[in-house]
Amino acid sequence: MISYTETPIQNIHSPLLDKAGLRLYIKREDMNHPSVSGNKWWKLKYNLSRALECGAKKLLTFGGAYSNLIYATAAAAKECGLESVGIIRGEEHLPLNPILSFAKSQGMQLRYVSREEYARKSEPKFLENLATEFGEFYLIPEGGTNQQAIKGCAEWGAILARQEFDYLCLPVGTGGTIAGIVIGLAGKRKIVGYSVLKGGEFLTEEVKKLVFDFGSAQFFNWEIETGYHFGGYAKLDKPLYDFIATINRDNNLPLDPVYTAKMVFGIFDGVRNNKFENGSTLLAIHTGGIH
């Protein structure tokens, strides 16, 4: 199995927080593993166990050119002695960006497909063709969200529940992490997710379904903010870039622009707009993505 390092909780200082009477802490889960960091560690934990139990020799997953899952899966596969294949959306561009360059250095085979082909990634025929090309593999879906991933994130949520906080905040991509966290907290505290996708309104129903399918339960202590995507997945503008620099300067806290920066920006904007009850303690999760 992949190694794990216990991670610290960092106090964030800001006059804005002081004025609002709020305390903000960041769970530095980006520090849990050098390459399989943040929520990807928890999403892959039980997927790797299942793959090894099944006798799989190879992992296959999907992602864009800047996918954290591609990066993490390549590293996890190498650490577990498995081969790996990454099906990459779009054309190859040389030189490879740091994500794909790292994945290749870990032994991952990169297979580029058109956006039209990529849209068929869940179809049986497409998967059959991949099996013909690469041989048998253990499939990890795009974003890593499946029952094994939610199991890992639910375990993580139960561990986080031991901390003292009123609100738990986290970024949301495919919805698997927040679904697991909702399950793990079992209706306790308040959970606020921040969608990094443009048009992320669909995520509320998606997460409800993921939670119900996992354990036939419903919880009502969570919500997903959809106004902090900054133009869409992996999109970055100057205000967000400047915000990242300010947070790093004032608190020595590196934020990745795809996920955690958008969440922390949303938290600060929520503080300005009285989203959080005075005197509350907020715990935000740094889900990794710093490479």
- Which pLDDT band, with edges at 50, 70 and 90, does 285 fall under? very high
Residue at a domain's end among 136, 167, 194: 136
**72: exposed, middle or buried (C-beta count within 10 Å: 0-12, 13-18, 19+)?**
buried
82/175 same-domain check: no
Look at residue 141 and tell me if it is in a domain. no
241/271 same-domain check: yes
234/276 same-domain check: yes
Task: List, for residues 215-237, the tens digit of each pLDDT value.
Answer: 999 999 999 999 999 999 888 89
What percent of the residues of the chain are helix, what percent strand, and what percent coil, each to the nearest 5?
Answer: 45, 20, 40
CATH number at residue 256: 3.40.50.1100
Mean of pLDDT values over 61-80: 95
Look at residue 45 and tell me if it is in a domain. no
Task: List, for residues 171-198, the tens digit of each pLDDT value.
Answer: 999 999 999 999 999 999 999 999 999 9
Q: What is the pLDDT of residue 118?
A: 96
Is 1 a residue whose pLDDT tops 80? no
Look at residue 51 and tell me if it is in a domain. no
Tally the domains of the chain: 2
Predicted TM-score of the model (pTM): 0.95
CA–CA distance, 291 with 16 (Å, rounded to integer) = 29
CA–CA distance, 144 with 177 (Å, rounded to integer) = 9
Residue at a domain's end among 107, 136, 165: 136
**182: exposed, middle or buried (C-beta count within 10 Å: 0-12, 13-18, 19+)?**
buried
Is 291 a residue whose pLDDT tops 80? no
Is 31 a residue whose pLDDT tops 90? yes
CA–CA distance, 227 with 195 (Å, rounded to integer) = 8
- Which pLDDT band, with edges at 50, 70 and 90, does 245 fall under? very high
77/184 same-domain check: no
Is 66 a residue whose pLDDT tops 80? yes
**5: exposed, middle or buried (C-beta count within 10 Å: 0-12, 13-18, 19+)?**
exposed
Task: List, for residues 33-42, the tens digit of each pLDDT value.
Answer: 999 999 999 9
88/209 same-domain check: no
161/263 same-domain check: yes
Residue 141: partners with Cβ closer than 8 Å, 6 or more residues away: 61, 62, 122
**226: exposed, middle or buried (C-beta count within 10 Å: 0-12, 13-18, 19+)?**
buried
Maximum CA extent, the chain = 61
Integer Rg of the chain from CA = 19
Provide the mean pLDDT of the chain.
Answer: 96
Residue at a domain's end among 136, 162, 186: 136
Q: What is the pLDDT of residue 26?
A: 98
CA–CA distance, 78 with 83 (Å, rounded to integer) = 7
Domain span at residue 281 reads 9-34+146-285
156/250 same-domain check: yes
